Amino acid sequence: MNPPLYSVSETGEGDREAVEGATLKRSAGFPPPPPSFGWSPSPAKGRGRIGERMIKYIGSKRALLGHVTGAVRAALPDGGTVCDLFSGSARVGHALKGQGFRVWSNDHNAYAHTLATAYVQADRERWAAQAEVVLTELRTVAPEAGWFTKAFCEDARFFHPDNGARIDAMRTRIEAMGLEPELKAVVLVALMEAADRVDSTAGLQMAYMKQWAPRALKPLELRLPDLLLGVAAGPCKATRGDAVEIADQVEADLVYLDPPYNQHSYLANYHCWESLVLWDKPETYGVANKRVDVKTRKSPFNSRPGIGPALQSVVERVKTPNLIVSFNDEGYLSRDDLTAMLSARGHVQVVEIPRPRYVGARIGIHNRKGEKVGAVGRLRNVEHLFVVTQEPLSLPVAA
């Protein structure tokens, strides 16, 4: 059994959405994933345990990849260009690139941009061999504790100090190498994923285990990320922009929107990755040692009054005949709100996908005395895919 979590979030309970990829033993009781309804299986099929390699990310569409890519292919049977404006872990863009679509992935956080640069923009044939050379060198770097170890292994305890010293030394070396941006992104993703595999959290950098999680005691190991070959349709790209600010520039055969749907800030939940990628050693605050700019870098999509106008603005301004929007039944906007907003762009079909909720809802969150705090809520929610096209599509499960 895993030890209880220290609750160090402002909410005191942490998020309650599913953290895809969380591997705590007590999550083993989750119900099996829903059937694929005859849609294509995950495009990761044949790639071994690729889903396990990517970072744990709340709201990741890892388990819904078959649904999302199936809907994209139904709308674009002959391929085309797809823009993912809230790319997060980059799984969706990676899956679509793997199916030959020309993908543009965007996110406003630097760590997400780095993930998309590696998984969507960088082509395997161009960078894999060079990245292996860099990773081989990094594996020989002598551990040396520094800013990361102090902030995230001693003051907070997200990683074991032995791994903190490895991360500090490797990250310092990466910065000194002066790598080209795509190569640097691939190497940073290798480091981020290696750190993620030995963390001592349940998937959010707001709370850590009271005692080290067993995996945190293992030495961090670098692996080459699963880079994809370039696609015939043209170069894929990753950008770091605010979705509302760049919506006017977006032109694609299909736009995929997977915005946050509640108050929890991704920057706050993944502040260690932001600091690791930017390597700006910022001033930090609170028990979780979050970057001070978490207080000022806000998204309108994390605000109940802000999300409606922000999403409406994006929906109205992107140039595309096809839109797919992911949202779940616990977000600030209801199914009716979204259907009304999207109807102006075309015919709306809604796919419903039941999902298990955040692992913490099952484990329970504990305070520093080891007492359980907060009530356990619902254990399942429903993910919705709103598929907006000029003509109705034949979708297997559309309400």
Ligand X SMILES: C[S@@+](CC[C@H](N)C(=O)[O-])C[C@H]1O[C@@H](n2cnc3c(N)ncnc32)[C@H](O)[C@@H]1O
Contacting residues toward ligand X, per CB under 6 A: 57, 59-61, 86-89, 91-92, 107-109, 112, 242-244, 258-260, 266, 299, 301
Q: Which is nearer to ligand X, 24 or 92 (CB)?
A: 92
Q: Which is nearer to ligand X, 4 or 259 (CB)?
A: 259
Closest separation between CB of residue 341 and ligand X, Å? 17
CA distances from 125 to 53, 97, 161, 361, 396 (A): 20, 14, 36, 43, 36
Q: Which is nearer to ligand X, 92 or 120 (CB)?
A: 92
Closest separation between CB of residue 86 and ligand X, Å? 3
User: Which single residue brings its beta carbon nearest to ligand X?
Assistant: 88
Q: Which is nearer to ligand X, 105 or 149 (CB)?
A: 105
CA distances from 277 to 33, 85, 163, 188 (A): 33, 20, 17, 7
Task: Of 361, 353, 363, 352, give the one whose Cα is nearest residue 399.
Answer: 352
Q: Which is nearer to ligand X, 112 or 170 (CB)?
A: 112
DSSP states of 164-198 = HHHHHHHHHHHHHHT--HHHHHHHHHHHHHHHHHT
Q: Which is nearer to ligand X, 134 or 325 (CB)?
A: 325
**How far, in Å, CA of 218 to CA of 196, rounded?**
12
**Count of helix runs (H) and strand runs (E) in the chain:** 14, 13
**How far, in Å, CA of 215 to CA of 126, rounded?**
33
Closest separation between CB of residue 384 and ligand X, Å? 13
Give the residue ranges of DSSP H helices in 27-180.
50-53, 65-75, 91-98, 110-116, 124-138, 147-149, 161-177
Closest separation between CB of residue 54 and ligand X, Å? 8
Q: 318 near 250, Cβ under 8 Å?
A: yes
Other beta carbons within 10 Å of 28: 8
Closest separation between CB of residue 146 and ligand X, Å? 27
Closest separation between CB of residue 59 and ligand X, Å? 3
How far does CA 108 lie from the centroid of its chain?
12
Closest separation between CB of residue 45 and ligand X, Å? 17
Q: Which is nearer to ligand X, 2 or 87 (CB)?
A: 87
